[in-house]
């Protein structure tokens, strides 16, 4: 659980500080943490779906950090893990004149997804939510094993 919580915190914080100093806006640190660190909150949906099905004993899930809930569901929703949201985030904030928020959030979010790709055995297209949606969020679309 500690790895899950911490692997994205330092890069997000550093990025937030750099962008915050560059744009002279301290709030960008919060933006970087929201988009680069806290998007893992979406694992809760997958975890509770497995917990609710009770297909395996709840102990077999071994907590949210084990990732075993993905196997129980045979699905991977992880709805915030998607390149499409990064583009929408960047365009949305830029259109309303907040390039600083758009750039900070998009960069932190992209770094999160890159780190996940380096840390786990994912298909290169795993984090395109439109593709996962078309494939019914099948776990095999995300993971190589």
Using CB under 5 A, list all residues that contact Zn ion: 40, 116
CB of 14 to Zn ion, least distance (A): 17
- Closer residue to Zn ion (CB): 46 or 116: 116
Q: Which is nearer to Zn ion, 40 or 100 (CB)?
A: 40
Q: Helices 99-119 and 83-95: crossing angle, nearest 10°?
A: 170
Q: How far is the CB of 133 from Zn ion (least distance, A)?
A: 18
Give yes or no for a contact between 42 and 80, defined as CB atoms under 8 angstroms apart. Answer: yes
Q: Please, which residue, 41 or 95, has the CB nearer to Zn ion?
A: 41
- Residue 122, SS3? strand
Measured from the CB of residue 86, what is the shortest distance to Zn ion in angstroms?
13
Minimum CB distance to Zn ion, residue 2 (Å): 15
| Neighbouring residues of 87: CB distance < 8 A, sequence distance ≥ 6 | 106
- When the beta carbons of 40 and 46 are compared against Zn ion, the nearer one is 40
Report the C-alpha gap between 78 and 39 in whole angstroms: 9
Helix, coil or strand: residue 48: helix
Measured from the CB of residue 93, what is the shortest distance to Zn ion in angstroms? Answer: 21
Is the Cβ of residue 43 or residue 100 nearer to Zn ion in the bound state?
43
Which three-class secondary structure state does DSSP give residue 120? coil
Sort residue 34 into left (φ over 0), alpha (ψ -120 to 50) or beta: alpha
């Amino acid at each position: 659980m500690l790895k899950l919580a911490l692997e994205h915190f330092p890069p997000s914080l550093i990025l937030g500080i750099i962008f915050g100093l560059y744009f002279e806006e301290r709030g960008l640190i919060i933006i970087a943490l929201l988009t680069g660190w806290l998007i893992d909150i979406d694992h809760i949906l997958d975890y509770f779906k497995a917990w609710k099905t009770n297909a395996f004993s709840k102990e077999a899930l071994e907590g949210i950090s084990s990732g075993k809930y993905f196997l129980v569901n045979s699905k991977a929703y992880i709805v915030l893990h998607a390149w499409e949201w990064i583009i929408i985030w960047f365009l949305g904030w830029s259109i309303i004149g907040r390039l600083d928020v758009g750039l900070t959030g998009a960069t932190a979010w992209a770094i999160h997804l890159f780190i996940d790709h380096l840390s786990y055995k994912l298909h290169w297209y795993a984090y395109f939510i439109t593709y996962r949606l078309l494939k019914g969020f099948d776990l095999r679309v995300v993971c190589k094993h």
